[in-house]
Amino acid sequence: MHVIQNNYAPKCAELAEAENSHGVFYGACNFKCAFCGMANRGDRGGDISERLIELTKSGLNFKFTGGEPTLDRRLPDHLRLVRSLGGRIFLDTNGSNPEALGKLLDENLVDVLGISVKGVTPEEAERISGRPRRLSWENVMESVRLGLSSNARTIVTLIVYGDSDAEKRLEQFYGLFRDSGRVYYKINSLFKTRRALASGLTKMDEEKLWEEIQKWTERHEDIRGRVIFVPNERAVHEFGEIRFC
Ligand code: SF4
């Protein structure tokens, strides 16, 4: 686990004026995603309470991410501490652990919940995550359902890779959550991590993907205002790089 001050640009249009989020990273992950650049980056251990308290002096946004944060038994205490200090809590998860997530949501410890979907079909999710369907699909859908029935804003994220089938994949992504409620859709371009390159995944041209996303939102008026595009690595840290439609 490690902590980085003011690391992440906010991914919600309404937070445009808000400061970046501090990043709290938990190293372990139970997935082996083909494009991952984040998992198992080690755990420095130790008590980070003092550090969290110190960070509130330079901003109240905190993003808890990984790895997979819900695997770490310290997470609930960290969230409670940040909440008690008036912090705004963003939590990223791969959605594999709805039991732990449900408890956090029941305690109202999450303001913005980001759930990454590893594919638009169960088969793709299994293949990309390297984990069985129960973890990589059924639990993820249950986590989305929990998010949508809580007070947290729920963002589902899909990484689009390859060149040929973006339109079809976006339609499938829309179809997954069309009837679920007020989900926010985040599309990430593939980042050129070592694992992505080794897996043979390719990055779609950013502007072509943006065109497809805009056409997608024109076809589905109901999602307008709820689509977020992260076109490149810079957008992770720079709000000006993120696009909304
Ligand atoms: S869920 Fe996948 S992408 Fe996220 S940290 Fe784990 S292995 Fe990496």
Q: What is the rounded distance in angstroms from the CA atom of residue 169 to the CA atom of residue 116?
A: 15
For 200, residues 6+ apart whose C-beta sits below 8 A from its C-beta are none
Q: How many domains does the chain have?
A: 1
CATH number at residue 79: 3.20.20.70
- DSSP secondary-structure letter at 113? E
For a pocket test of ligand 1, which of 1, 32, 63, 68 has the largest count of ligand atoms closer than 8 A to its C-beta?
68
Kindly state if the Cβ of 173 falls inside 6 Å of ligand 1: no
| Count of Cβ atoms closer than 10 Å to residue 163 Cβ | 12
Beta carbon of 36 within 6 Å of any ligand 1 atom: yes
Residue among 25, 30, 36 to mutate when testing ligand 1 (max atoms within 8 A of CB): 36
Task: Establish whether residue 69 lines the binding site of ligand 1, counting it when its CB lies within 6 angstroms of any ligand atom.
Answer: no
- Our measurement of the distance from residue 100's CA atom to the centroid of its chain's CA atoms, rounded to an integer in Å, reads 17
* Residue-by-residue pLDDT tens, the chain, 245 positions: 789 988 899 888 676 567 899 999 998 999 999 888 775 566 666 789 999 999 999 999 999 998 999 999 999 999 999 999 999 999 999 999 999 999 999 999 999 999 999 999 999 999 999 999 999 999 999 999 999 999 999 999 999 988 779 999 999 999 999 998 799 999 999 988 888 888 888 899 999 999 999 999 999 999 999 999 999 999 999 999 999 99
On whether the pTM is more than 0.85, the answer is: yes
Q: How far apart are CA 136 and CA 95, in angstroms?
A: 8
Question: Could you count the other beta carbons within 10 Å of the beta carbon of residue 83?
Answer: 17
Contact 154, 144 (CB under 8 A): yes
Q: Which domain holds residue 79?
A: 2-244
Please work out whether the CB of residue 104 comes within 6 Å of at least one atom of ligand 1.
no
